[in-house]
């Protein structure tokens, strides 16, 4: 245990919660520890990711052990792969009908996440999609894409817009992982936006009905409102912080 704390300290990782899984030394350890496929590990390395970043060292084991996390790490520290790699492993074979839902504040960000998901999912058959512009004429197409996707990336706005259409039925029943990326930005918009966001979150959580659902929250800064939301909505929460709390 002391050994583990020393390793975390060396990498600037703080992890608070019950029975926190040991941090990851190397991506290749994922094979033995979690039965992650060699193909997925090779893809990660082919992306040029030779060593896990600090947030990846702690977030991967947590998520692979089905633990809910609130992870704060600076911009550019590899948070995207920190949630994509566990999702790609845990979803296994494609089924269609989203089992992972990734929410982020802007469509530009949604596309960045999508591009990383395409790269990292190269060895899998899993399908990812972004909910993009929702013109009336396109809603049926979106519904079809949604139904075929294993991983859906969206802003809360667009997802709720789609959920609220009478003409389509999209289900979030099968969602196993709900990822909230750049949570600080989503929660801390102008107060009007952020109250909209909270309502949208209520609707989305309600729609992700499954008991099996887990939430993972990622953010560049530690903000009290996000921390409070996590305490209320996430059982067995592990708080992971890399570097300074408010860097």
Smallest separation, CB 33 to ligand ADP (Å): 17
Regarding 67 and contact with Mg ion (CB under 5 A), the answer is no
Least distance in Å: CB of 48 to ligand ADP? 6
Name the one residue in this structure whose structure tokens are 């899984």: 21
Buried b (16+ CB within 10 A) or exposed e, 79-90: bbbbbbbbbbbb
Q: Which of 79, 89, 174, 185 binds Mg ion (CB under 5 A)?
A: 79
- The structure tokens 């566990």 sit at 86
| Longest CA pairwise span in the chain (Å) | 59
Shortest Cβ 70–ligand ADP spacing (Å): 14
Distance CA 150, CA 166 (A): 23
Residues making contact with ligand ADP (CB under 6 A) = 48-49, 51-53, 56, 73, 75-81
Contacted entry of Mg ion, ligand ADP, none for residue 69, CB cut-off 5 to 8 Å set by kind = none
185 binding Mg ion? (CB under 5 A): no
Closer residue to Mg ion (CB): 44 or 170: 44
Q: Does 99 bind Mg ion (CB under 5 A)?
A: no
Nearest to 57, CA basis, from 46, 68, 73: 73
Applying CB under 5 A, the site for Mg ion has a residue count of 1
Q: How far is the CB of 106 from Mg ion (least distance, A)?
A: 11
Edge-to-edge strand ranges of the sheet holding 13-16: 13-16, 238-242, 69-72, 214-219, 177-180, 100-103, 151-154, 128-130
77 binds, among ligand ADP, Mg ion, none (CB under 5 to 8 A by kind): ligand ADP
Question: Which residues face 153 on adjacent strands?
Answer: 102, 130
**For Mg ion, the closer CB: 55 or 204:** 55
124's tokens: 């899998």
CA dist 63 and 58 (Å) reads 9
200 contact, one of Mg ion, ligand ADP, none, CB 5-8 Å limit per kind:
none
Nearer Cβ to ligand ADP (16/47): 47
**Interacting partner of 81 out of Mg ion, ligand ADP, none (Cβ under 5 to 8 A depending on kind):** ligand ADP
């Amino acid at each position: 245990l002391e050994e583990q704390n020393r390793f975390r300290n060396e990498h600037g990782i703080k992890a608070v919660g019950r029975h926190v899984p040991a941090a990851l030394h190397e991506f290749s350890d994922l094979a033995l520890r979690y039965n992650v496929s060699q193909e997925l590990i090779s893809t990660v390395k082919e992306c040029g990711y030779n060593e896990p970043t600090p947030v990846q060292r702690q977030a991967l084991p947590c998520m692979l052990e089905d633990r809910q996390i609130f992870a704060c790490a600076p911009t550019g520290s590899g948070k995207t792969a920190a949630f994509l790699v566990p999702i790609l492993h845990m979803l296994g074979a494609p089924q269609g009908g989203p089992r992972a839902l990734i929410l982020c504040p802007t469509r530009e960000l949604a596309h960045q996440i999508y591009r990383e998901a395409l790269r990292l999912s190269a060895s899998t058959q899993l399908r990812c999609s972004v909910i993009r512009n929702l013109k009336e004429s396109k809603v049926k197409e979106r519904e079809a894409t949604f139904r075929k996707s294993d991983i859906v990336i969206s802003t809360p706005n667009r997802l709720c817009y789609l959920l609220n259409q009478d003409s389509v039925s999209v289900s979030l029943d099968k969602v196993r992982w709900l990822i909230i990326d750049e949570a600080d930005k989503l929660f801390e918009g102008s107060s009007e936006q952020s109250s909209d966001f909270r309502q949208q979150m209520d609707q989305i959580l309600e729609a992700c009905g499954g008991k099996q659902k887990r939430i993972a929250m990622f953010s560049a800064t530690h903000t009290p409102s996000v921390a409070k939301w996590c305490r209320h909505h996430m059982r067995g929460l592990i708080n992971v912080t890399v570097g300074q709390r408010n860097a």
